[in-house]
């Protein structure tokens, strides 16, 4: 089953705004892209369990995390959008990504780039808009100094 072209366009647009808002550190635009509750699953990279946060709590946590980087750039493309039935989401957007993180490490390169695939679960709101309700990352490789991210995470605890 293929997705309605209008839904495909809306899904790609909200996901593009989501990733741009991270790199721009525009946390209000970030929240505007999200469903009220969002599942984030980075367990293939970091282990642990998926997180389930309100949009506001996710923005607050990611704002602190991304303050630990000098700059980031999320390049996302190769979009495919498929309806899902039954839930957990109304649509799933899959895309490849290259996420570059520039930060500080006195003992190594200041840059780490991760490559892989995102699956973005989108749910329809009561007014019919699509919002991100799940972010599922499947990394395939990384290049550079992963410690840049670890140091950014540590800076959120300070």
CATH at 38: 3.10.450.50
Rounded to 5°, angle at Cα 60 from 55 and 62: 95
For the chain, how many structural domains are there in total? 1
- Write out the E strands in 67-124: 71-83, 91-102, 111-124
Residue range(s) defining the domain that contains residue 49: 5-157
What pLDDT was estimated at residue 75? Answer: 98
Q: What is the pTM of this model?
A: 0.93
Low-confidence ranges of the chain (pLDDT < 70): 1, 85-86, 158
**Which residues does 130 contact at the CB level (< 8 Å), separation at least 6?**
7, 10, 11, 14, 90, 91, 122, 123, 124
């Amino acid at each position: 089953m293929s997705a309605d072209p209008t839904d495909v366009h809306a899904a790609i647009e909200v996901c593009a705004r989501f990733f741009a808002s991270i790199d721009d550190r525009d946390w209000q635009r970030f929240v505007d892209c999200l469903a009220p509750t969002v599942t984030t699953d980075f367990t293939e990279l970091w282990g642990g369990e998926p997180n389930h946060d309100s949009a506001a709590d996710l923005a607050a946590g990611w704002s602190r995390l991304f303050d630990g980087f000098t700059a980031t750039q999320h390049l996302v493309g190769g979009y495919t959008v498929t309806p899902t039935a039954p839930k957990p989401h109304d649509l799933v957007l899959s895309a490849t990504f290259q996420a570059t993180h520039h930060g500080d490490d006195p003992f190594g390169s200041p840059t780490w780039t991760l490559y892989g695939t995102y699956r973005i679960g989108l749910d329809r709101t009561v007014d019919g808009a699509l919002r991100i309700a799940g972010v599922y990352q499947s990394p395939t490789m990384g290049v550079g100094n992963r410690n840049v991210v670890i140091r950014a995470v540590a800076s959120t605890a300070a």
